[in-house]
Structure 1
């Protein structure tokens, strides 16, 4: 009877190994017998079921590969999330629909905020340079027109 139960347990363990080849089975540590167990022999019916169920529970967890998004993809996802939030959806729901975590969303949003602040400064510097260039161009044209008018009026 005990041999039959041991063979069933070994068969279940072999099936579990076949299903999960990446998991190594730990060797069972011998336990010190307590006073009740020294004289009595365990029947093993319940313990065999527990052993087989504990091995079956230890299935491999499938982890997905980490996706690296480009700047365009990040901007698109952030835009989608912002639109959904604007419609009244919760952040949690809209982030799940986009396929990213809330933590990733907050990191991307923070990074986008920093980029936009530096972009604003760059844009302002460009606008100031263009403004100065246009002022010089306008001043030159006004001088030329003024000189032509003076020649026509005979003041020069």
Structure 2
């Protein structure tokens, strides 16, 4: 294992002529780019990843594919090819639409959820009272029939 002192010795190389230790030369810095950035590449960098299809176009293509598969003998692979996209793109779009549907369904306002919870608790209380009354009546009839009362 190389220690700190060994590492310094590895960086210092003896001169061929004199035999005196000489450290390695540092590398020269690379020249900076001076070419101007075009407006198009600047807008791409600002916008991030460019998109070929809008959300509306994606939904239309997915609907076209689903209709083609449901309508006839065309396979999903053939319908995707007819729509002009790759299978990978289709499945990525489907995954993204399903995840947005799930988050939309899960995003219920807190006030509505609290109101629903209060209603459910009240109904639960009412049902428990009904059940308790029925059990008391059955218990009373059983006691009468057994002659315990």
What band does the TM-score fall into relative to the shorter chain? 0.3 to 0.5
TM-score by length of 1: 0.37
Determine which structure has the larger helix proportion and give its number. 1
Determine which structure has the larger strand proportion and give its number. 2
Q: 1 or 2 for the larger relative contact order (CA 8 Å, sep ≥6)?
A: 1
